[in-house]
Structures are given as C-alpha cells and as structure tokens.
Structure 1
Amino acid sequence: MVKSFQGVRMVEPKKSPATQILVKDHMSTNLVTFHPDDTIDKVLDVLTKRKISGAPVVDESGALIGIISEVDCLKEIIKGKYTNTPKFPGKVKEHMSTDVITLGQELSLFDAAQKFLELKIRRFPVLKDGVLIGQISLSDVIRAFPKLKQTTW
C-alpha cells in the first residue's frame, strides 16, 4: 500500500510479459490457402462462400509465396469486362501480391494493431520459424479488444 495525497490505495504489481495479449491468441489457424496455379474463378468462389476478403498463397511444399485478395481479383474482373468474358481464367500467380509482410506469433496485439494502422493492410500471415501457422486480420484484432479485461491493459 502507498499513502499519498489521494489517500490509501493499492498499487497493482507490474504486469509480467506472460500476461501480454499476443497475436497467437487471436489469429486464425484454420486457413484457406490458394496455389499459384489456381484460377481467379476459384478464388472468387471460395472468398465469396467463406465470406473472407483474401488468403495466403502457398507452393507445393506449403511455403508462403504471396497473398491474393479481392482487390487483386478485380484486375482479372476488369480484364474480363474488356474481353467480354464472363469467366475469369487468370491465374493466382499473375495477380497475387508477392511482397508479403508477416508477423510473428509472439507479437503483442497492440503492436499488431499499430502495424495495421501504419501499413494499411487488412491481413498479415503469421510465421513461426519461417512456416505459415496462421493469419491475423484487422477484423480479428477489432473483435479481440472488447473481450479484454481492464486489468490486461
């Protein structure tokens, strides 16, 4: 207890790193992934059915090589409009983003939130020792904060 001009109050102990809120606690691990040779038709179908806006692209060994999003798919949709093609046969590898920024699973959720603000990206793949283990989206972060207890801040 500490006495001050405010009266007697209990001083809460400093939080240990073990009580931090981490990316691994709020990331998605059951991921939809695409292969570079998948068609944009397939991507649009899966994104629509799963109600997601993008997903990681992995090679045959499961290594992360890119991200495909709804915005990336728009390129093929626009191309289809000009060629009067109702199908979108373009390949994921032609439209995916390959300059992928990833996060580590031990990053705090507050630091992840800062990355979302700085980089204006909607999702980050999460790697552990170079292996894709999950993904954290802006929606995951937003959903996590109302659940936090006051003492975890």
Structure 2
Amino acid sequence: MKLDALCVRDIMSHDTFHVQPTTAADECARQLALHKLSGAPVTDQYGRLIGFVSEQDLLGPLSQSAYHCDSPGSVAKVMSEDVLFVTPDQQVMQVVNLMMGSKPKIYPVVEEGRLIGIVTRRLVMRALLQAQQTCTPV
C-alpha cells in the first residue's frame, strides 16, 4: 500500500490494553510491564477515553508506596486528563510528524468519543519499513 494512502485504521492495534480510573497504580504498572507498553489509555465504564497514564506518572506513587509500605492509590490520582489522540482516518504520515516531536509515542485511537485502539511508535515504524520495501523510485 502506498504510504500516502495509509491510515491509522490500517496499522493500529485493536487489542488495546486500557485501564479504568479505579485501577490500582501498582496493578497498572504490572500490566504495563506485561504488555510491554510505556503507558495506557484510561477509559470510563462505557469505553470513552478520559485520560492517559504513563510509567512516568506511576513512578512517584510506586516509590512512595515502596518506601512507606502502603497502597500507591489509584490511576485516577496520577493520570493525565488532557489526552492527545488520533482518529482512525488520519494518515500515518501525520502520526509520524507527531511522534517525531516531543509528543507521546503511544496515541489512543478514538472514534465517536470511544477508544477503538492504539497506535504505537513500533506500529508506525513497521508500516514505514513495509512501505519502504514496496517503493518504486521515480
């Protein structure tokens, strides 16, 4: 497929790990490690995107919890509510431009307010490599 015709929908992961605001911070950290992700979308009970939590967000509560031997609290206390996201119809090259800056490396994919997937730097790189292999020089 030509790169200029490639959309987020074509490369996104549909099997998306996400958490709810009530998820314990330590459980979220365990799941991020298990899924090999640096962050995850936070959704409400209806699947609407309401936040994002990263490993960096979890470091403070986890370090305090380990030091004081208590509970680190919930994701709601540390998640970012100002979430950058993409839509499934955006072109992959738009996402490339976002990821080349100081923006997140994981973007929730949202359609009609609901989380339908994620697109990661790894998925974008894979798409670029595939496009490169099928290039025809002009």
TM-score (structure 1 length as normaliser) = 0.79
Q: Which residue of 1 aligns with 2:41?
A: 56
- What's the secondary structure of 1:150's corresponding residue? coil
Output the amino acid matched with 2:58. C
- How far apart are the structure 1 equivalents of 2:56 and 2:25? 12
From 45, 48, 68, the counterpart of 1:84? 68
| Structure 1 residue 120 displacement after superposition | 2.4
- Listed as ranges, the matches of 1:92-131 within 5 Å are 92-131=75-114
Whether contact under 8 Å (2:11, 2:119) holds in the other structure is: yes
Structure 1 stretches (4+) deviating beyond 3 angstroms? none
From 54, 75, 94, the counterpart of 1:69? 54
Structure 1 unaligned residues grouped into runs of 5+: 1-15
From 115, 124, 128, the counterpart of 1:141? 124
**CA RMSD, aligned part only?**
2.1
| Structure 1 residue 88 displacement after superposition | 4.4
- How far apart are the structure 2 equivalents of 1:116 and 1:77? 28
Output the amino acid matched with 1:38. T
| Structure 1 residue 117 displacement after superposition | 1.7
Output the amino acid matched with 1:132. L
Whether contact under 8 Å (2:8, 2:92) holds in the other structure is: yes
CA offset digits 1:21-80 (Å, max 9, x no partner): 111111111011101011011111111122222111111121110011111111212322
Bigger Rg over Cα: 1
Identity %: 30
- How far apart are the structure 1 equivalents of 2:50 and 2:110? 12
Whether contact under 8 Å (2:62, 2:72) holds in the other structure is: no
Q: Which residue of 2 aligns with 1:6?
A: none
Structure 2 unaligned residues grouped into runs of 5+: none
Q: Which has the higher contact order (CA 8 A, sep 6+)?
A: 2
